[in-house]
Protein backbone atom coordinates (compact mmCIF):
# COMPACT_ATOMS: atom_id res chain seq x y z
CA UNK A 1 0.00 0.00 0.00
CA UNK A 2 1.16 3.55 -0.65
CA UNK A 3 2.60 4.82 2.60
CA UNK A 4 0.84 8.21 2.57
CA UNK A 5 -2.51 6.54 1.87
CA UNK A 6 -1.77 3.95 4.47
CA UNK A 7 -1.09 6.69 7.08
CA UNK A 8 -4.23 8.55 6.17
CA UNK A 9 -6.39 5.45 6.29
CA UNK A 10 -5.15 4.49 9.73
CA UNK A 11 -5.30 8.02 11.17
CA UNK A 12 -1.60 8.00 12.02
CA UNK A 13 -0.68 10.86 14.37
CA UNK A 14 3.04 10.17 14.95
CA UNK A 15 5.75 8.14 13.23
CA UNK A 16 9.02 6.65 14.39
CA UNK A 17 11.53 3.96 13.55
CA UNK A 18 10.97 2.05 16.75
CA UNK A 19 7.98 2.06 19.09
CA UNK A 20 8.72 0.83 22.58
CA UNK A 21 5.60 -0.19 24.48
CA UNK A 22 6.27 0.27 28.19
CA UNK A 23 8.73 2.72 29.70
CA UNK A 24 9.85 0.86 32.82
CA UNK A 25 13.45 -0.24 33.21
CA UNK A 26 13.30 -2.45 30.08
CA UNK A 27 11.88 0.24 27.81
CA UNK A 28 14.23 2.92 29.11
CA UNK A 29 17.34 0.75 28.86
CA UNK A 30 16.42 -0.41 25.36
CA UNK A 31 16.01 3.23 24.32
CA UNK A 32 19.38 4.10 25.91
CA UNK A 33 21.11 1.30 24.01
CA UNK A 34 19.44 2.36 20.74
CA UNK A 35 20.57 5.94 21.23
CA UNK A 36 24.16 4.89 21.85
CA UNK A 37 24.49 2.91 18.64
CA UNK A 38 25.70 4.63 15.46
CA UNK A 39 23.11 5.72 12.90
CA UNK A 40 20.06 7.94 13.11
CA UNK A 41 16.80 6.71 14.57
CA UNK A 42 13.63 8.01 16.14
CA UNK A 43 12.24 6.13 19.09
CA UNK A 44 8.89 6.68 20.79
CA UNK A 45 8.36 5.18 24.24
CA UNK A 46 4.71 4.71 25.16
CA UNK A 47 4.24 4.74 28.93
CA UNK A 48 1.29 5.95 31.04
CA UNK A 49 3.46 6.87 34.05
CA UNK A 50 4.82 10.40 34.26
CA UNK A 51 8.44 9.22 34.43
CA UNK A 52 10.43 6.77 32.34
CA UNK A 53 12.75 4.11 33.76
CA UNK A 54 10.83 3.43 36.95
CA UNK A 55 7.88 1.08 36.42
CA UNK A 56 6.37 -0.27 39.64
CA UNK A 57 9.69 -1.45 41.05
CA UNK A 58 11.65 1.82 40.90
CA UNK A 59 8.79 4.20 41.65
CA UNK A 60 9.28 3.26 45.32
CA UNK A 61 9.51 6.29 47.61
CA UNK A 62 10.49 4.68 50.92
CA UNK A 63 14.19 4.31 51.73
CA UNK A 64 13.36 0.91 53.27
CA UNK A 65 12.17 -0.49 49.93
CA UNK A 66 15.56 -1.44 48.61
CA UNK A 67 17.01 -3.48 45.78
CA UNK A 68 17.38 -7.15 46.61
CA UNK A 69 21.00 -7.16 45.46
CA UNK A 70 23.89 -4.90 46.35
CA UNK A 71 25.24 -2.19 44.05
CA UNK A 72 27.93 -4.50 42.68
CA UNK A 73 25.21 -6.79 41.29
CA UNK A 74 22.83 -4.24 39.80
CA UNK A 75 24.62 -2.39 37.02
CA UNK A 76 22.48 -1.51 33.99
CA UNK A 77 25.61 -1.54 31.83
CA UNK A 78 26.40 -5.12 30.74
CA UNK A 79 29.93 -3.94 29.87
CA UNK A 80 30.66 -2.36 33.24
CA UNK A 81 29.66 -4.26 36.37
CA UNK A 82 30.79 -1.28 38.49
CA UNK A 83 28.51 1.20 36.77
CA UNK A 84 25.98 1.48 39.62
CA UNK A 85 28.72 1.57 42.26
CA UNK A 86 30.38 4.44 40.38
CA UNK A 87 27.11 6.34 40.02
CA UNK A 88 26.27 5.74 43.68
CA UNK A 89 29.69 6.91 44.82
CA UNK A 90 29.18 10.24 43.05
CA UNK A 91 25.58 10.45 44.30
CA UNK A 92 26.59 9.86 47.93
CA UNK A 93 29.50 12.33 47.63
CA UNK A 94 27.01 14.92 46.41
CA UNK A 95 24.96 14.33 49.58
CA UNK A 96 22.22 12.31 47.86
CA UNK A 97 21.98 9.50 50.41
CA UNK A 98 23.25 10.66 53.84
CA UNK A 99 21.70 7.62 55.61
CA UNK A 100 24.07 5.29 53.72
CA UNK A 101 26.74 6.11 56.37
CA UNK A 102 24.84 4.06 58.95
CA UNK A 103 25.55 0.81 57.13
CA UNK A 104 29.36 1.05 57.31
CA UNK A 105 30.08 -1.17 54.32
CA UNK A 106 31.83 -0.34 51.04
CA UNK A 107 29.54 1.37 48.52
CA UNK A 108 29.57 -1.69 46.26
CA UNK A 109 27.96 -3.66 49.12
CA UNK A 110 25.14 -1.21 49.82
CA UNK A 111 21.57 -2.18 48.89
CA UNK A 112 20.24 1.06 47.41
CA UNK A 113 16.63 2.16 47.81
CA UNK A 114 14.74 1.30 44.62
CA UNK A 115 13.59 4.88 44.07
CA UNK A 116 17.27 5.90 43.97
CA UNK A 117 17.97 3.15 41.47
CA UNK A 118 15.20 4.64 39.31
CA UNK A 119 17.07 7.94 39.37
CA UNK A 120 20.24 6.15 38.23
CA UNK A 121 18.39 4.51 35.31
CA UNK A 122 16.92 7.87 34.35
CA UNK A 123 20.31 9.53 34.44
CA UNK A 124 21.80 6.86 32.19
CA UNK A 125 18.91 7.40 29.75
CA UNK A 126 19.44 11.18 29.84
CA UNK A 127 23.15 10.70 29.04
CA UNK A 128 22.28 8.37 26.15
CA UNK A 129 19.86 11.00 24.84
CA UNK A 130 22.67 13.56 24.81
CA UNK A 131 24.87 11.12 22.89
CA UNK A 132 22.01 10.36 20.51
CA UNK A 133 21.68 14.01 19.59
CA UNK A 134 25.13 13.77 17.99
CA UNK A 135 23.76 11.12 15.59
CA UNK A 136 20.44 12.88 15.15
CA UNK A 137 18.70 10.17 17.20
CA UNK A 138 15.87 10.88 19.63
CA UNK A 139 13.79 8.99 22.18
CA UNK A 140 10.56 10.65 23.20
CA UNK A 141 8.06 9.74 25.89
CA UNK A 142 4.45 9.49 24.70
CA UNK A 143 2.13 9.37 27.71
CA UNK A 144 -0.60 6.78 27.38
CA UNK A 145 -1.49 3.11 27.38
CA UNK A 146 -1.20 1.15 24.14
CA UNK A 147 -4.53 -0.63 23.67
CA UNK A 148 -4.21 -2.21 20.24
CA UNK A 149 -1.56 -3.15 17.70
CA UNK A 150 -1.78 -4.10 14.05
CA UNK A 151 0.87 -5.05 11.57
CA UNK A 152 0.11 -3.44 8.21
CA UNK A 153 2.45 -4.30 5.33
CA UNK A 154 5.77 -2.75 6.29
CA UNK A 155 4.72 -1.09 9.53
CA UNK A 156 3.28 -1.52 12.98
CA UNK A 157 0.28 0.61 13.95
CA UNK A 158 -0.20 1.22 17.63
CA UNK A 159 -3.41 2.65 19.04
CA UNK A 160 -3.29 4.44 22.37
CA UNK A 161 -6.08 4.86 24.90
CA UNK A 162 -6.57 8.51 23.88
CA UNK A 163 -7.11 7.52 20.23
CA UNK A 164 -3.64 8.46 18.93
CA UNK A 165 -2.20 6.10 16.33
CA UNK A 166 1.56 5.67 16.20
CA UNK A 167 3.24 4.15 13.18
CA UNK A 168 6.61 2.45 13.55
CA UNK A 169 8.83 0.21 11.49
CA UNK A 170 9.36 -2.01 14.52
CA UNK A 171 7.67 -2.33 17.89
CA UNK A 172 8.88 -3.85 21.14
CA UNK A 173 6.70 -5.16 23.94
CA UNK A 174 8.45 -4.01 27.12
CA UNK A 175 5.28 -4.20 29.17
CA UNK A 176 6.87 -5.76 32.25
CA UNK A 177 4.99 -7.75 34.82
CA UNK A 178 1.28 -7.71 35.41
CA UNK A 179 0.34 -7.97 39.07
CA UNK A 180 -1.76 -11.01 39.96
CA UNK A 181 -4.27 -8.51 41.34
CA UNK A 182 -5.06 -7.47 37.78
CA UNK A 183 -6.62 -10.80 36.78
CA UNK A 184 -10.37 -11.33 36.34
CA UNK A 185 -10.17 -14.04 39.05
CA UNK A 186 -8.93 -11.71 41.78
CA UNK A 187 -11.20 -8.96 40.47
CA UNK A 188 -14.28 -11.17 40.88
CA UNK A 189 -13.25 -12.50 44.32
CA UNK A 190 -13.32 -8.92 45.62
CA UNK A 191 -9.69 -9.19 46.67
CA UNK A 192 -8.58 -6.12 44.77
CA UNK A 193 -11.06 -3.80 46.38
CA UNK A 194 -10.31 -5.12 49.87
CA UNK A 195 -6.54 -5.29 49.73
CA UNK A 196 -4.02 -2.61 50.68
CA UNK A 197 -1.14 -1.77 48.37
CA UNK A 198 2.01 -3.39 49.86
CA UNK A 199 3.98 -0.14 49.32
CA UNK A 200 1.35 2.37 50.46
CA UNK A 201 2.72 3.49 53.84
CA UNK A 202 0.26 6.40 54.03
CA UNK A 203 -2.74 4.02 53.85
CA UNK A 204 -1.15 1.81 56.51
CA UNK A 205 -0.82 4.81 58.85
CA UNK A 206 -4.61 4.94 58.93
CA UNK A 207 -4.81 1.44 60.49
CA UNK A 208 -5.16 0.91 64.24
CA UNK A 209 -1.47 0.23 65.12
CA UNK A 210 -2.45 -2.79 67.25
CA UNK A 211 -4.74 -4.37 64.63
CA UNK A 212 -4.10 -7.70 62.94
CA UNK A 213 -2.92 -7.51 59.34
CA UNK A 214 -3.26 -10.51 57.01
CA UNK A 215 -0.76 -10.95 54.17
CA UNK A 216 -1.20 -13.39 51.30
CA UNK A 217 2.09 -14.56 49.81
CA UNK A 218 5.49 -14.82 51.49
CA UNK A 219 7.97 -13.64 48.84
CA UNK A 220 9.85 -10.39 48.47
CA UNK A 221 6.66 -8.31 48.14
CA UNK A 222 5.60 -9.59 51.57
CA UNK A 223 9.00 -8.50 52.92
CA UNK A 224 8.38 -5.02 51.45
CA UNK A 225 4.88 -4.98 52.95
CA UNK A 226 6.30 -5.74 56.41
CA UNK A 227 8.82 -2.89 55.95
CA UNK A 228 5.92 -0.59 54.98
CA UNK A 229 3.89 -1.62 58.05
CA UNK A 230 6.85 -0.99 60.36
CA UNK A 231 7.43 2.39 58.74
CA UNK A 232 3.74 3.22 59.21
CA UNK A 233 4.01 2.52 62.95
CA UNK A 234 2.02 -0.72 62.90
CA UNK A 235 2.84 -2.81 65.99
CA UNK A 236 0.11 -5.47 65.93
CA UNK A 237 0.14 -9.09 64.75
CA UNK A 238 0.95 -9.94 61.12
CA UNK A 239 -0.38 -13.24 59.78
CA UNK A 240 1.27 -14.43 56.56
CA UNK A 241 -0.26 -17.20 54.44
CA UNK A 242 1.49 -18.87 51.56
CA UNK A 243 1.17 -22.25 49.91
CA UNK A 244 4.53 -23.57 51.09
CA UNK A 245 5.11 -21.29 54.05
CA UNK A 246 8.67 -20.54 52.94
CA UNK A 247 10.34 -17.21 53.66
CA UNK A 248 13.01 -15.76 51.36
CA UNK A 249 16.55 -16.30 52.64
CA UNK A 250 18.71 -13.29 53.35
CA UNK A 251 21.20 -12.23 50.69
CA UNK A 252 24.77 -12.47 51.92
CA UNK A 253 27.98 -11.71 50.02
CA UNK A 254 29.36 -15.20 49.35
CA UNK A 255 32.87 -15.69 47.94
CA UNK A 256 33.39 -16.82 44.34
CA UNK A 257 32.82 -20.53 43.65
CA UNK A 258 33.82 -22.72 40.73
CA UNK A 259 31.32 -22.43 37.86
CA UNK A 260 30.45 -26.13 37.93
CA UNK A 261 27.76 -25.87 35.23
CA UNK A 262 30.18 -24.33 32.75
CA UNK A 263 32.27 -27.45 33.17
CA UNK A 264 29.46 -29.96 32.85
CA UNK A 265 27.08 -29.53 29.91
CA UNK A 266 25.61 -32.99 30.44
CA UNK A 267 23.33 -31.64 33.20
CA UNK A 268 19.92 -31.09 31.65
CA UNK A 269 16.99 -32.18 33.77
CA UNK A 270 15.87 -30.28 36.87
CA UNK A 271 16.56 -33.41 38.90
CA UNK A 272 20.16 -33.62 37.68
CA UNK A 273 20.64 -29.91 38.30
CA UNK A 274 19.30 -30.11 41.85
CA UNK A 275 21.36 -33.18 42.65
CA UNK A 276 24.55 -31.50 41.42
CA UNK A 277 23.69 -28.25 43.20
CA UNK A 278 23.01 -29.97 46.53
CA UNK A 279 26.33 -31.76 46.21
CA UNK A 280 28.13 -28.47 45.54
CA UNK A 281 26.38 -26.82 48.50
CA UNK A 282 27.43 -29.69 50.78
CA UNK A 283 31.01 -29.34 49.56
CA UNK A 284 30.93 -25.61 50.23
CA UNK A 285 29.53 -26.08 53.74
CA UNK A 286 32.14 -28.75 54.50
CA UNK A 287 34.80 -26.15 53.65
CA UNK A 288 33.11 -23.55 55.82
CA UNK A 289 31.86 -21.64 52.77
CA UNK A 290 28.37 -20.17 52.43
CA UNK A 291 25.91 -22.37 50.41
CA UNK A 292 24.96 -19.20 48.52
CA UNK A 293 28.33 -19.33 46.71
CA UNK A 294 27.55 -22.41 44.53
CA UNK A 295 23.90 -21.37 44.14
CA UNK A 296 24.90 -18.01 42.68
CA UNK A 297 26.89 -19.68 39.90
CA UNK A 298 23.69 -21.29 38.57
CA UNK A 299 22.17 -17.92 37.63
CA UNK A 300 24.29 -17.48 34.50
CA UNK A 301 23.15 -20.87 33.15
CA UNK A 302 19.48 -20.95 34.07
CA UNK A 303 18.32 -19.47 30.72
CA UNK A 304 20.25 -22.06 28.72
CA UNK A 305 19.07 -24.95 30.94
CA UNK A 306 15.45 -23.79 30.80
CA UNK A 307 15.40 -23.25 27.04
CA UNK A 308 17.00 -26.67 26.42
CA UNK A 309 14.57 -28.47 28.74
CA UNK A 310 11.46 -30.28 27.52
CA UNK A 311 8.03 -29.10 28.67
CA UNK A 312 7.84 -32.14 30.96
CA UNK A 313 11.11 -31.16 32.62
CA UNK A 314 10.01 -27.53 32.88
CA UNK A 315 6.80 -28.67 34.56
CA UNK A 316 8.83 -30.78 37.00
CA UNK A 317 10.93 -27.72 37.78
CA UNK A 318 7.89 -25.52 38.36
CA UNK A 319 6.13 -28.11 40.50
CA UNK A 320 9.02 -29.38 42.61
CA UNK A 321 11.82 -26.82 42.48
CA UNK A 322 10.10 -23.46 42.05
CA UNK A 323 9.15 -22.81 45.73
CA UNK A 324 12.69 -23.74 46.76
CA UNK A 325 14.21 -21.66 43.93
CA UNK A 326 12.09 -18.63 44.84
CA UNK A 327 13.06 -18.65 48.52
CA UNK A 328 16.74 -19.51 48.00
CA UNK A 329 17.49 -17.56 44.83
CA UNK A 330 15.26 -14.47 45.18
CA UNK A 331 16.76 -13.44 48.47
CA UNK A 332 15.88 -10.63 50.78
CA UNK A 333 17.99 -7.51 51.36
CA UNK A 334 19.68 -7.84 54.79
CA UNK A 335 17.98 -4.95 56.62
CA UNK A 336 14.50 -6.07 55.54
CA UNK A 337 15.32 -9.70 56.37
CA UNK A 338 16.49 -8.63 59.86
CA UNK A 339 13.15 -6.92 60.47
CA UNK A 340 11.15 -9.97 59.35
CA UNK A 341 13.33 -12.28 61.48
CA UNK A 342 12.93 -10.02 64.53
CA UNK A 343 9.12 -9.85 64.22
CA UNK A 344 9.04 -13.63 63.74
CA UNK A 345 11.11 -14.18 66.88
CA UNK A 346 8.94 -11.81 68.86
CA UNK A 347 5.91 -13.84 67.75
CA UNK A 348 4.34 -10.80 66.07
CA UNK A 349 4.73 -12.25 62.59
CA UNK A 350 3.47 -15.74 61.96
CA UNK A 351 3.79 -17.61 58.73
CA UNK A 352 1.45 -20.45 57.82
CA UNK A 353 1.42 -22.87 54.90
CA UNK A 354 -2.07 -22.20 53.56
CA UNK A 355 -3.70 -21.05 50.35
CA UNK A 356 -6.11 -18.11 50.04
CA UNK A 357 -9.64 -19.14 49.07
CA UNK A 358 -11.49 -15.84 48.82
CA UNK A 359 -13.04 -13.31 51.11
CA UNK A 360 -15.44 -14.44 53.83
CA UNK A 361 -18.33 -12.38 55.16
CA UNK A 362 -17.44 -10.28 58.18
CA UNK A 363 -18.78 -7.59 60.47
CA UNK A 364 -18.41 -4.01 59.34
CA UNK A 365 -14.95 -2.57 59.92
CA UNK A 366 -13.33 -6.01 59.96
CA UNK A 367 -12.22 -8.35 57.25
CA UNK A 368 -12.27 -12.13 56.98
CA UNK A 369 -10.75 -14.56 54.51
CA UNK A 370 -11.07 -18.25 53.77
CA UNK A 371 -7.81 -20.15 53.82
CA UNK A 372 -7.07 -23.81 53.24
CA UNK A 373 -4.22 -25.03 55.44
CA UNK A 374 -1.71 -27.30 53.76
CA UNK A 375 -2.78 -30.93 54.10
CA UNK A 376 -6.32 -30.02 55.22
CA UNK A 377 -9.43 -30.42 53.09
CA UNK A 378 -11.67 -27.89 54.83
CA UNK A 379 -11.56 -24.12 54.84
CA UNK A 380 -10.75 -22.00 57.86
CA UNK A 381 -11.90 -18.40 58.38
CA UNK A 382 -9.28 -15.91 59.56
CA UNK A 383 -10.14 -12.40 60.75
CA UNK A 384 -8.08 -9.25 60.50
CA UNK A 385 -8.38 -5.50 60.16
CA UNK A 386 -6.58 -5.28 56.84
CA UNK A 387 -5.37 -7.47 54.03
CA UNK A 388 -2.32 -7.17 51.81
CA UNK A 389 -2.09 -9.19 48.62
CA UNK A 390 1.54 -9.95 47.89
CA UNK A 391 0.85 -13.12 45.97
CA UNK A 392 2.81 -11.95 42.99
CA UNK A 393 2.66 -11.79 39.31
CA UNK A 394 0.34 -13.06 36.58
CA UNK A 395 2.52 -14.39 33.79
CA UNK A 396 -0.28 -15.96 31.76
CA UNK A 397 -1.31 -13.25 29.28
CA UNK A 398 -4.63 -14.96 28.63
CA UNK A 399 -5.60 -14.02 32.20
CA UNK A 400 -4.38 -10.44 32.14
CA UNK A 401 -7.37 -8.12 31.95
CA UNK A 402 -5.64 -5.33 30.01
CA UNK A 403 -6.59 -4.36 26.44
CA UNK A 404 -3.23 -4.83 24.72
CA UNK A 405 -2.51 -8.46 25.75
CA UNK A 406 -6.11 -9.35 24.91
CA UNK A 407 -5.97 -7.64 21.50
CA UNK A 408 -2.63 -9.19 20.57
CA UNK A 409 -3.99 -12.64 21.38
CA UNK A 410 -7.28 -12.00 19.57
CA UNK A 411 -5.43 -10.82 16.45
CA UNK A 412 -3.21 -13.90 16.54
CA UNK A 413 -0.07 -11.75 16.70
CA UNK A 414 1.28 -13.57 19.75
CA UNK A 415 0.88 -16.93 21.43
CA UNK A 416 1.45 -18.02 25.03
CA UNK A 417 5.03 -18.97 25.87
CA UNK A 418 6.12 -22.35 27.27
CA UNK A 419 3.88 -23.38 30.20
CA UNK A 420 1.80 -20.25 29.41
CA UNK A 421 4.47 -18.09 31.02
CA UNK A 422 4.46 -14.83 29.07
CA UNK A 423 4.62 -15.04 25.30
CA UNK A 424 6.55 -17.20 22.84
CA UNK A 425 9.48 -15.67 20.98
CA UNK A 426 12.68 -16.51 19.13
CA UNK A 427 15.99 -16.17 20.99
CA UNK A 428 16.44 -12.70 19.40
CA UNK A 429 13.12 -11.53 20.90
CA UNK A 430 10.98 -11.69 17.70
CA UNK A 431 7.58 -12.85 18.94
CA UNK A 432 5.89 -15.93 17.51
CA UNK A 433 2.40 -15.48 16.12
CA UNK A 434 -0.52 -17.85 16.69
CA UNK A 435 0.83 -20.16 13.93
CA UNK A 436 4.34 -20.21 15.38
CA UNK A 437 5.77 -17.86 12.71
CA UNK A 438 8.37 -15.35 13.92
CA UNK A 439 7.26 -11.74 13.51
CA UNK A 440 9.37 -9.48 11.34
CA UNK A 441 8.43 -6.30 13.16
CA UNK A 442 7.23 -7.20 16.64
CA UNK A 443 9.67 -8.01 19.45
CA UNK A 444 9.53 -8.49 23.22
CA UNK A 445 11.93 -8.25 26.11
CA UNK A 446 12.03 -8.65 29.88
CA UNK A 447 9.25 -10.29 31.91
CA UNK A 448 7.04 -11.17 28.87
CA UNK A 449 9.81 -13.65 27.94
CA UNK A 450 9.63 -15.49 31.27
CA UNK A 451 8.58 -18.72 29.52
CA UNK A 452 11.56 -18.53 27.17
CA UNK A 453 14.28 -18.00 29.80
CA UNK A 454 12.66 -18.59 33.21
CA UNK A 455 14.66 -15.67 34.69
CA UNK A 456 13.86 -12.69 32.49
CA UNK A 457 12.95 -10.03 35.00
CA UNK A 458 15.87 -8.88 37.13
CA UNK A 459 17.95 -5.80 36.44
CA UNK A 460 20.79 -7.78 34.91
CA UNK A 461 18.45 -9.82 32.65
CA UNK A 462 16.81 -6.66 31.40
CA UNK A 463 20.14 -4.86 30.88
CA UNK A 464 21.69 -7.62 28.80
CA UNK A 465 18.51 -8.18 26.76
CA UNK A 466 18.31 -4.43 26.04
CA UNK A 467 21.82 -4.45 24.64
CA UNK A 468 21.28 -7.51 22.44
CA UNK A 469 17.87 -6.39 21.18
CA UNK A 470 19.10 -2.88 20.36
CA UNK A 471 21.90 -4.37 18.24
CA UNK A 472 19.38 -6.64 16.47
CA UNK A 473 16.96 -3.79 15.73
CA UNK A 474 19.73 -1.58 14.39
CA UNK A 475 20.91 -4.46 12.20
CA UNK A 476 17.37 -4.86 10.81
CA UNK A 477 17.01 -1.12 10.36
CA UNK A 478 20.30 -0.98 8.45
CA UNK A 479 19.60 -3.96 6.20
CA UNK A 480 16.00 -3.05 5.45
CA UNK A 481 15.93 0.73 5.03
CA UNK A 482 12.56 2.25 4.09
C1 LIG B 1 8.22 -4.20 43.61
C2 LIG B 1 9.30 -4.79 42.75
C3 LIG B 1 10.59 -4.82 43.21
C4 LIG B 1 11.60 -5.34 42.40
N5 LIG B 1 12.87 -5.36 42.89
C6 LIG B 1 13.86 -5.83 42.13
C7 LIG B 1 15.20 -5.85 42.60
O8 LIG B 1 15.46 -5.43 43.72
N9 LIG B 1 16.18 -6.33 41.78
C10 LIG B 1 15.89 -6.81 40.55
O11 LIG B 1 16.80 -7.24 39.85
N12 LIG B 1 14.63 -6.82 40.07
C13 LIG B 1 13.62 -6.35 40.83
N14 LIG B 1 12.34 -6.37 40.35
C15 LIG B 1 12.11 -6.89 39.04
C16 LIG B 1 11.78 -5.73 38.11
O17 LIG B 1 10.56 -6.04 37.51
C18 LIG B 1 12.75 -5.49 37.01
O19 LIG B 1 13.98 -5.12 37.56
C20 LIG B 1 12.29 -4.35 36.09
O21 LIG B 1 11.44 -3.47 36.73
C22 LIG B 1 11.61 -4.88 34.87
O23 LIG B 1 11.40 -3.76 34.07
P24 LIG B 1 10.29 -3.73 32.96
O25 LIG B 1 10.41 -2.40 32.35
O26 LIG B 1 10.42 -4.92 32.09
O27 LIG B 1 8.95 -3.91 33.72
P28 LIG B 1 8.11 -2.85 34.59
O29 LIG B 1 8.97 -2.19 35.58
O30 LIG B 1 6.94 -3.64 35.08
O31 LIG B 1 7.66 -1.77 33.55
C32 LIG B 1 6.77 -2.02 32.51
C33 LIG B 1 6.09 -0.72 32.14
O34 LIG B 1 5.25 -0.97 31.03
C35 LIG B 1 4.12 -0.16 31.15
N36 LIG B 1 3.06 -0.77 30.35
C37 LIG B 1 2.46 -1.98 30.52
N38 LIG B 1 1.54 -2.17 29.57
C39 LIG B 1 1.55 -1.07 28.79
C40 LIG B 1 0.80 -0.67 27.65
N41 LIG B 1 -0.14 -1.45 27.12
N42 LIG B 1 1.06 0.54 27.09
C43 LIG B 1 2.03 1.35 27.61
N44 LIG B 1 2.75 1.01 28.69
C45 LIG B 1 2.51 -0.18 29.27
C46 LIG B 1 3.82 -0.09 32.63
O47 LIG B 1 3.13 1.10 32.94
C48 LIG B 1 5.22 -0.14 33.24
O49 LIG B 1 5.69 1.12 33.62
C50 LIG B 1 11.30 -5.86 41.14
C51 LIG B 1 9.99 -5.84 40.69
C52 LIG B 1 8.99 -5.31 41.48
C53 LIG B 1 7.57 -5.29 40.97
22: CATH: 3.50.50.60
Residues 117 and 203 in one domain: no
Residues 168 and 285 in one domain: no
Residues 402 and 470 in one domain: yes
How high is the pLDDT of residue 190?
64
Half-sphere exposure for 81 (CA within 13 Å, toward CB): 6
Residues 193 and 301 in one domain: no
Evaluate if residue 393 carries a pLDDT over 70: yes
Residues 6+ apart with CB under 8 A from 72: 81, 82, 84, 85, 108, 109
Residue 459 near residue 76 (C-beta atoms within 8 A):
yes
How high is the pLDDT of residue 180?
75
For residue 186, name the pLDDT band (cuts at 50, 70, 90): low
Distance CA 22, CA 30 (A): 11
* Residue 142, in any domain of the structure: yes
How high is the pLDDT of residue 1?
46
How high is the pLDDT of residue 213?
96
Distance between Cα 55 and ligand 1 center (Å): 5
* Residue 78, in any domain of the structure: no
Q: Is 116 in the pocket of ligand 1 (CB under 6 A)?
A: no
Residues 167 and 297 in one domain: no
Distance between Cα 392 and ligand 1 center (Å): 13
Tens digit of pLDDT for each residue in 207-265?
Answer: 999 999 999 999 999 999 999 999 999 999 999 999 888 899 999 989 999 998 887 77
For residue 274, name the pLDDT band (cuts at 50, 70, 90): confident
Distance between Cα 177 and ligand 1 center (Å): 6
- Tell which atom from ligand 1 comes closest to the C-alpha of 177: 30
Residue 158 near residue 148 (C-beta atoms within 8 A):
yes
Q: What is the mean pLDDT of residues 147-155?
A: 94
- Give Cα separations from 448 to 51, 172, 415, 418 (angstroms): 21, 11, 11, 11
For residue 387, name the pLDDT band (cuts at 50, 70, 90): very high
Q: Is 146 in the pocket of ligand 1 (CB under 6 A)?
A: yes
Residues 55 and 187 in one domain: no
Tens digit of pLDDT for each residue in 28-43?
Answer: 999 999 999 999 999 9
pLDDT > 90 in the chain, percent:
74
* Residue 165, in any domain of the structure: yes
- Any bridge partners for residue 138, and if so which? 42
Tens digit of pLDDT for each residue in 45-102?
Answer: 999 999 999 999 999 999 999 999 999 999 999 999 999 999 999 999 999 999 999 8
Residues 471 and 409 in one domain: yes
Residues 6+ apart with CB under 8 A from 368: 359, 360, 361, 362, 381, 382, 383, 384
For residue 401, name the pLDDT band (cuts at 50, 70, 90): confident
Q: Is 145 in the pocket of ligand 1 (CB under 6 A)?
A: yes
Give the closest residue to 436 by CA, choosing from 423, 447, 445.
423
Q: Which of 335-344, 368-377, 432-441, 459-468 has the lowest mean pLDDT?
A: 368-377
Residues 24 and 141 in one domain: yes
Please give the distance of CA 344 from its chain centroid, rounded to a whole number. Answer: 27
Give the closest residue to 30 by CA, choosing from 197, 143, 170.
170
Residues 389 and 400 in one domain: no
How do beta strands 367-373 and 349-360 pair?
antiparallel
* Residue 26, in any domain of the structure: yes
Distance between Cα 174 and ligand 1 center (Å): 9
How high is the pLDDT of residue 182?
45
Atom 32, ligand 1: residue with shortest CA distance: 176
Q: Which of 21, 47, 57 to mutate to test the pocket of ligand 1 (most atoms within 8 A of CB)?
A: 57
Residues 6+ apart with CB under 8 A from 399: 183, 184, 185
How high is the pLDDT of residue 4?
67
Residue 11 near residue 129 (C-beta atoms within 8 A):
no
Half-sphere exposure for 474 (CA within 13 Å, toward CB): 19
- Domain limits for position 389: 181-249+331-393
Please give the distance of CA 427 from its chain centroid, rounded to a whole number. Answer: 19
Distance between Cα 316 and ligand 1 center (Å): 27
- Give Cα separations from 101 to 81, 87, 335 (angstroms): 23, 16, 14
Which of 393, 410, 432 is the C-terminal boundary of a domain? 393
* Residue 293, in any domain of the structure: yes
Residue 208 near residue 478 (C-beta atoms within 8 A):
no
Evaluate if residue 184 carries a pLDDT over 60: no
Residues 6+ apart with CB under 8 A from 310: none
Residue 459 near residue 476 (C-beta atoms within 8 A):
no
DSSP 480: S
For residue 462, name the pLDDT band (cuts at 50, 70, 90): very high
Tens digit of pLDDT for each residue in 339-376?
Answer: 999 999 999 999 999 988 888 888 777 889 999 999 88
152 or 7, which is more confident? 152
**Angle of helix 459-479 relative to helix 25-36, nearest 10 degrees?**
40
106 or 358, which is more confident? 106
Residues 168 and 290 in one domain: no
Average pLDDT, the chain: 92
Q: Which of 181, 330, 457 to mutate to test the pocket of ligand 1 (most atoms within 8 A of CB)?
A: 457
Residues 189 and 167 in one domain: no
Which of 393, 427, 445 is the C-terminal boundary of a domain? 393
- Any bridge partners for residue 150, and if so which? 157
Distance CA 171, CA 169 (A): 7
Residues 388 and 245 in one domain: yes
* Residue 75, in any domain of the structure: no
Residue 387 near residue 217 (C-beta atoms within 8 A):
no
Kindly state the helix (H) or strand (E) to which residue 387 belongs, with its residue range. Answer: strand 386-389
Tens digit of pLDDT for each residue in 293-322?
Answer: 999 999 888 888 898 889 999 999 898 888
Evaluate if residue 183 carries a pLDDT over 70: no
Q: What is the mean pLDDT of residues 21-29?
A: 98
| Strand runs labelled E in 197-283 | 213-216, 238-242
Q: Which of 176, 444, 446, 448 to mutate to test the pocket of ligand 1 (most atoms within 8 A of CB)?
A: 176
Q: Which of 136-140, 164-168, 389-393 has the lowest mean pLDDT?
A: 389-393
* Residue 105, in any domain of the structure: no
* Residue 216, in any domain of the structure: yes
Q: Is 405 in the pocket of ligand 1 (CB under 6 A)?
A: no
Half-sphere exposure for 331 (CA within 13 Å, toward CB): 21
Count of domains forming the chain: 3
**Angle of helix 114-135 relative to helix 25-36, nearest 10 degrees?**
30
Amino acid sequence: MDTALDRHEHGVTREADILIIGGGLSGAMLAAQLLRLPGRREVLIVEPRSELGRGEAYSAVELGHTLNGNAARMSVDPDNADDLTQWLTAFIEAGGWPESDQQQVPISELFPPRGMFGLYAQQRLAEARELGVQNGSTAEHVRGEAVDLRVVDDAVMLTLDDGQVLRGRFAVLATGMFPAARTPQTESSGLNAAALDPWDVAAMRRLDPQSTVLIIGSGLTMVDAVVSLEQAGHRGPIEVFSRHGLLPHVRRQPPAWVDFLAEDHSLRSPRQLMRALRQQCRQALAQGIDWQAPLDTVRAHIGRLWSQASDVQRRQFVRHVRPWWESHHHRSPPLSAELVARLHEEGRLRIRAASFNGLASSAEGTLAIHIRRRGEAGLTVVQGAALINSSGIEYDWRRVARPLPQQLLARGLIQPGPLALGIAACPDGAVLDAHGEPAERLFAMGPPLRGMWWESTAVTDVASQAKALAARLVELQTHHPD
